[in-house]
Structure formats: C-alpha cells, structure tokens
Structure 1
Amino acid sequence: MRTLAELTATDAQAGRIDWIGLRPERRGAMRPVSAAELRPDGLAGDHARAGKRALTLFQAEHLAAVAGFLGRGAVPPELLRRNLMISGLNLSALRGVALALDGAVVRITVPCAPCSRMEEALGPGGYNAMRGHGGWCAEVLQPGPVATGAPVRRV
C-alpha cells in the first residue's frame, strides 16, 4: 500500500501554461501575451507584487465552473485578473510545492481569493462564482522565461 506522502507526490501528467496576462498598472486592464520574463517580483511588465504573491495562477479547468455559476457559456481568462492559466495539474494539490514553469521555478504559496473587482468584471454574482476557484499565488524561486504551451512540472 502506498503512503499518503507517495500519493500526494504523484501527478497523472505534466501541466501546461495556456495563457499569460500582464496588468501594467493597478486596476488596469489585463493584456494577454504569448511569453514574458518572470523576475523575483513577478512578470516583467506586470504591476509588481513581491514575495509570496509575486505571481498569480488560475486553474484552466475552473473556467467552466465559473461560467456555469454565472449562467454563461464561457468566461475569458483576462476577466479573472490572474497572470497564468495552467491546465492539466490540480493546483490545489500543489500548495507549498515548487513548480518548473518553462525556464522559471515558483512555489505555490497561498490561495488568491477573489476581490470585489469580480463583480465589476463578471457582473452580479461574480464574487461568489469565483469563491473556491480564485486560483493561487506563488513566490519566485528562480527567475526565467515563461511562454504559452510550455510544460509545468514539479521540481
């Protein structure tokens, strides 16, 4: 029988970076890009946040849940105001884990709770639609390039 530590250290597959968004200024619009440089304080060109909240990640598979809670067919990732949309890995299972994101390494730190901006971006009920689906914050362990389509793996 496998131990809990062995079970929690096993992923079915590598993940992938599906989308990258930059927010040049506080409360500014998100700008999708295909690649960016991850620095110690977050993505170059993004509104800087240092430490354990330097980068924000969102689970691609949660887009359908948020859209469903809103009664919509789809929700574009830029409305969620997170930096990276990751598919294929359960980010909730990776808290405290170091991840290789293309040429950079980050550690998932704390949940990225929704803010009141979700009502502005998504309409009435946007805040509640995002609860439990807000994504994660991460600290930068090793700066480097990130690009859409790049694999995401445990280090």
Structure 2
Amino acid sequence: MPFPFFGDDKSTIAQMLNTLPQVGRLEWIGLRPVRREPMLAVAEATAETDRHLHGDHARPKPGGKRQVTLIQHEHLAAVAGYLSLPEPVDPGRLRRNLAVSGLNLLALKNRRIRIGEEVVLEITGECHPCSRMEEELGPGGYNAMRGHGGLTARIVQGGLMRAGDLVRIEPTPPAEPGS
C-alpha cells in the first residue's frame, strides 16, 4: 500500500501538516516569581485564560502572543551537547515556562494544544534566544540556543496543569466558507 500522501491526487501539504498523531508529555513547569531571578520549578501551575501562569512575574496584555513559553524537552540535551556539557541543560536556566517531550513543537505553530484536561494553548510563534543565554550558559550560549529557543503561546482556556500531564494536539476547526 503506498504512503497515503504520495501518488494520491487528494493529498496536499495541508493534510501532511495536520497529520500529528503523537501525544506528548509535560515534563517540567517553571515560574519566574521575580524578574531576573532564578526560575522556580513547580509540580503544578494554574494558567489564567488570556493572561499568564499564576505566580509568574510576567503580566502580558490580554490577547498577547507571549503569555507562556515552551521548550522542546529533547532539545535540552542538544543544547548541552553544543556546549560540551555532560548532562542536559536544566530547563529553568533557559527561562521558559514549560518543557514538553514527545511532540515536535515547531510543527505546532498556529495550532492549539491541550495540556491535561483543562488548559488549551494556542502556539503563536518562535521564542528566539536572547543575550541572557550568554550570561546563563556561558560563551556560545546564544548560538547553542539558536533553533532551540522554543515557542510562545496564548492561553485560550485556563486551568490547572501538572508535570506529567499528557499534551495533545487539538483538532483544527474546519475552514469557514470563503476564507
């Protein structure tokens, strides 16, 4: 049986982009209670709809695209490798709120994900590294993070999330006629 996307006149890039059968896992949650202070790893956090994570110092505007930040858990080892570190980088050092494994986060831009039973995030864009990575990781930290900085998201539906929760991709709603 041929691969369903090749040789099939009905196949499109859109079909391939929507084929994401994986289920991920929330590996780590971090809050920044005070600006420029170390991240605080927590077992659970409450996401406030269209706001931020409760207990995080960041106060983005409603409708903002950077209400929460995510990083690919698998990239922690890659960044460490680029810096010749013996173990994966602790996610708190990278200043992201959530570390997710099992899903290619970059494939989720402009998609929605559900974390646990309650929280729904809309992935809004890339979270590029900043000069703080040189401070935190040492010389080369910025370049080690390039392409591995993670993503930003908007909180569509708030609620409680816990480390270990499953992360599922929400179905893409059908396109409206004429759009």
TM range (shorter): over 0.9
| Counterpart in the other structure of 1:48 | 58
Contact 1:49 1:55 in 2 (8 A): no
Residue 10 of structure 1: SS of its match in structure 2? coil
Q: Which residue identity does 1:73 align to in structure 2?
A: P
Q: What TM-score, normalized by structure 1, do the two folds share?
A: 0.96
Contact 1:96 1:108 in 2 (8 A): yes
Pairing partner for 2:33 from 7, 24, 43: 24
Larger C-alpha radius of gyration, 1 or 2?
A: 2
Q: Which residue identity does 1:144 align to in structure 2?
A: G
Q: Which segments of 5 or more consecutive residues in structure 1 lack a partner in the other structure?
A: none
Residue 53 of structure 1: SS of its match in structure 2? coil
Number of matched pairs: 155
Equivalent residue runs for 1:114-133 within 5 Å: 114-133=129-148
Distance 1:28 1:22 in 2: 10
Q: Which residue identity does 2:58 align to in structure 1?
A: A
Which protein has greater RCO, CA pairs closer than 8 Å, 6+ apart?
A: 1
Distance 1:109 1:137 in 2: 6
Q: Which residue identity does 1:80 align to in structure 2?
A: L
| Counterpart in the other structure of 2:44 | 35
Distance 1:139 1:55 in 2: 6
Residue 124 of structure 2: SS of its match in structure 1? strand
Q: Deviations over 1:30-72 (max 9, x none)?
A: 0000100001321100122421000000001111110111011
Distance 2:91 2:58 in 1: 20
Q: Deviations over 1:62-83 (max 9, x none)?
A: 1111011101122111111100
Contact 2:32 2:58 in 1 (8 A): no
Q: Which residue identity does 2:148 align to in structure 1?
A: H
| Counterpart in the other structure of 1:68 | 81
| Counterpart in the other structure of 1:136 | 151
Contact 1:41 1:48 in 2 (8 A): no
| Counterpart in the other structure of 1:85 | 99
State the Cα distance separating 1:88 from its structure 2 match: 0.4
Contact 1:21 1:84 in 2 (8 A): yes
Counting aligned pairs with the same residue, the percent is 54
Whose helix fraction is larger, Structure 1's or Structure 2's? 1
Distance 2:146 2:59 in 1: 22
**CA RMSD of the aligned region, Å?**
1.0
Distance 1:82 1:109 in 2: 15
Distance 2:126 2:35 in 1: 20
Q: Which segments of 5 or more consecutive residues in structure 2 lack a partner in the other structure?
A: 1-7, 171-179
Q: What TM-score, normalized by structure 2, do the two folds share?
A: 0.83
